[in-house]
Chains A and B, each alone.
Chain A
Amino acid sequence: MHSISWHSVDHSLDECIKCNICTSYCPVSAVTDRFPGPKYVGPQAQRFRSPHQPHSPDDSVDYCSGCRVCNEVCPTGVKIAEINARARAQIVAERGLPLRNRLLGRNELLGKLGSLAPAAANLALHNPLSRLLAEKTLGIARHAPLPTWSTRGTFGDWLRRTAHRRLRSEKKVVYFHGCATMYYEPFIGQAAVAVLEHQGYEVIVPPQNCCGLPLLSNGEFPAAERYHQGNVARLAGFARAGLPIVGTSTSCTLTLKEEAPELLDREDEGTAALRQATWDIFEWLRALHEQGELRTDFQPIPSSGASLVLPYHAPCQLRAHRVGKPALEILALIPGLDLRESHARCCGIAGTYGYKTEKYQIAMDVGQELFDFVQAQGEAVPYSACDSETCRWQLEHGTGLPSRHPIEVLAAAYGLYDLEQRRLVREAQS
């Protein structure tokens, strides 16, 4: 048997047959001349790049959003998005990085700082004057959907406050929350813990770093490597002990599984152990279901109509896992839930891409396909659903409709979670 899997990024470019499918599907080149398309910037320009070359042949690589739609549709397996990410890192290594990109890459640090005084931080950042200033001085688009710090405490605060209530069990699972859950959306982590405990699992939440993806996608590879090593040091032990590590952020889990090892050329045992133990939470729940062990004591989710209509978008970062759409499969088990699957390519935001002044409009134009799909589902739709945090923020920005993580929907179907208030039912009562 010929093994095609996990061949190296560089060698994969020889598989390119110039068929143009990637360029036909690239959501960025469809809306702007600044990005000529994956084929030209990826495998073609790559032939003119070498470590000793003074200049990159193609600066437009900076306009690649890294959505990986090209990889998905390529009939011959070229790792185009990774070729582009490496080319961008090469440019950053040669010419340095603007302050803005340094800031946007440091999600963990920003999260920590803002959480010292979240209400004040939200006020300081989220007012028209500071957003205008940030646009003029830093180049962060004033209308871009930046997150707000949680004013009900961080996910870590909640874990400490409710430690006595955690389920103890022989069956254990490790939870990777990521920076967004920690500082902006602790309720996602609460819903995840509730769902996992509902399956009879004890949830371990060890100290952890940012996965490093924002740094990788901004081309800051050395800093990303430090984060990655931190995660290997803190988490690989659980992996070696045979515990699954599940995450609710599709981009964090993809980075632990593949992006960091591949882009940083890390082949050490710890990296491999971490990679093999990491799961998207719905990928893991689907495996549980296939073994007949997923609880299905669902109750209809409260809604105004006969059934809850829920437009669901599988984000690019989840599709890049190549595990299908596991959230869609699990949510399909819930009675009275009318799921509508999006076939839009990308919401446009692509992590921090759409935050940048020069890329904001591109991101909105890319997302139009998805916004139109959500809006076409009717007036009575209360939410959209998507697994990725930045995509949900972009969806809310583009449609004016609240967006939910599928784990919130699942927790609500178990009767554990209030989908509207975004809090656990038990805590709302106490």
Chain B
Amino acid sequence: MRPDLLVIGAGLAGLSAALRATQAGLRVRIIAKGLGTLHWSTGNLDLLGYLPGAPHPVRKPMEAIYTLPESHPYARLGPERIGHCLSWWQKALGAAGLAYRPATPARSNWLLPSPAGAVRPTYLATEAQAGGDLSQAEPMLIVGFQGMRDFYPHLIAENLTRQGYAARAATLSLAVITRRQDSNTLHLAQELERPGRVQELAAALRPLVRPGERVGLPAILGLERHQAIWQGLATALDAPVFEIPTLPPSVPGIRLHRALTRHLEAQGVQIQVGLTAIGFQADRGRILAVETESSARPWRHQAEGFLLATGGILGGGFNSDPQGRFWEVVFNLPLTVPQDRNAWFRPHFLAPEGHPVFRGGLAVDGCFRPVDGHGTPLYQNLWAAGNLLAHVDAIQERSVEGLAVITGMAAAEALLA
């Protein structure tokens, strides 16, 4: 019953670390407070989209890594190791049933339309989103649905047009997909899996599409049968079809979450959510157990090793209070946050350099073990990965998924060594 490795956190970092460790033969268990932030993700893998303060997206992220400060997790691993992690991950996801595509030319970023019609750099794109490639000249027809929340095709088309991309918008009735009054993106994706629904959608779309156009739809093209629905729609329309990610719940992110969790569970990994860590036991520099809150008494989870992947401030790995205290929630590890609360933020909310507080986090050694102020590991059997690491502002950089996957895998490899 006692696992070799207990992963705390079921987001992309924790799942990727578990995947790597499981394939190396470790018995892994995952516990998490709730489902991870993949439900808010585009489902693509953003590697490095913007450098601090730079107005334009990064075109060649592997080259841009050389310009990052040497404390940055990417700079410490180097492009070669990062490239190795990404190809391993891409292959593993392929085996789990999700195909990812790199951009051309090799080792460059895709530029894809965002749900606001902005240009969004990403490194590995889902097949269905790759069709929105803005380096291609084919004009786009962006289609939305009357009554669908948070997806406005005219806004997207107008913003794209202003930036020089050929796009126009159209709106269909939501009744094409569902008879229900109130649906979120996930419900719509599931409705499209019903027999015949794709053909009905194709019939409604057909009169709108002009020859030579590609059709951009909100990312609701199926959940389990996504591949068949996406391709079936393109065939029925005789036009390329692509998805644009939506606000949460994000169906491509959910597809990624499902593919990873099922793949892990099929290999015997238990994933338990709804568990909040409230304490731990340690002895002579080793973690013995983590305790989670339950309905009556703490529940102890013993393991040989522990990997912390609880996320940053958004994922819940840190917390803060109005007094300016900032803490790591499971092991109360030291964080590299400016001591003076006034130094946390820059004056402008959307400052292109990002805010200093978001670069704060957990400092680790070369083996991804959390360290004290002198660089000495705090525990011999504790590793950390993902958005809780210091010296990186993943949201500002657009590196959320890349950071999670690469550091998750690298931490797993470090603990296997």
Contact = CB atoms under 8 A, between A and B. Distances in A.
Interface string B274-311: 11101100000000000011111101000000000000
Nearest to A78: B34
Interface stretch (A227-235, A320-328, A398-406, A408-416): A320-328
A329 B275 contact: no
A23 B184 contact: yes
Residue from the set B39, B190, B249, B295 with the largest chain A CB neighbour count within 10 Å = B295
Residue from the set A29, A258, A319, A323 with the largest chain B CB neighbour count within 10 Å = A323
A192 B249 CA distance: 43
Contacts of B197: none
A302 interface: no
B272 interface: yes
B57 interface: no
A6 B249 CA distance: 28
A76 B314 CA distance: 9
Given A5-B276, A76-B34, A278 B296 contact: yes
A29 B182 CA distance: 9
Given A20-B249, A23-B184, A329-B1, A75 B315 contact: yes
By secondary structure, the A interface counts as loop
A58 to B, nearest CB: 13
Interface string A1-20: 11111100000000001011
Contacts of B299: 322-324
B256 interface: no
Interface string B320-356: 0000000101001000000000000000000000000
B149 to A, nearest CB: 10
A75 B33 contact: yes
- Interface size bracket, B side: 35 or more
A72 B274 contact: yes
B278 A21 contact: no
Contact of A258 (B272, B276, B296): B296
B182 A323 contact: no
Interface residues of A, number: 43
A30 B272 CA distance: 22
Contacts of A17: 314
B10 to A, nearest CB: 9
B34 A73 contact: yes
A319 B295 CA distance: 10
B49 interface: no
B165 interface: no
Given A75-B34, A76-B34, A319 B249 contact: no
A276 interface: yes
28 contacts: A1-B332, A2-B319, A2-B329, A4-B276, A19-B39, A23-B249, A25-B35, A30-B187, A33-B180, A33-B182, A36-B182, A37-B184, A72-B34, A72-B273, A72-B274, A75-B34, A257-B295, A275-B296, A321-B294, A321-B296, A322-B274, A322-B292, A322-B295, A322-B299, A323-B299, A324-B275, A324-B299, A329-B1
Interface of A: 1-6, 17, 19-21, 23-25, 29-30, 33, 36-37, 71-77, 254, 257-258, 275-276, 278-279, 289-290, 319-325, 329, 343
Interface of B: 1, 33-37, 39-40, 180-182, 184, 186-187, 190, 248-249, 254, 265, 270, 272-276, 278-279, 292-297, 299, 314-316, 319, 327, 329, 332
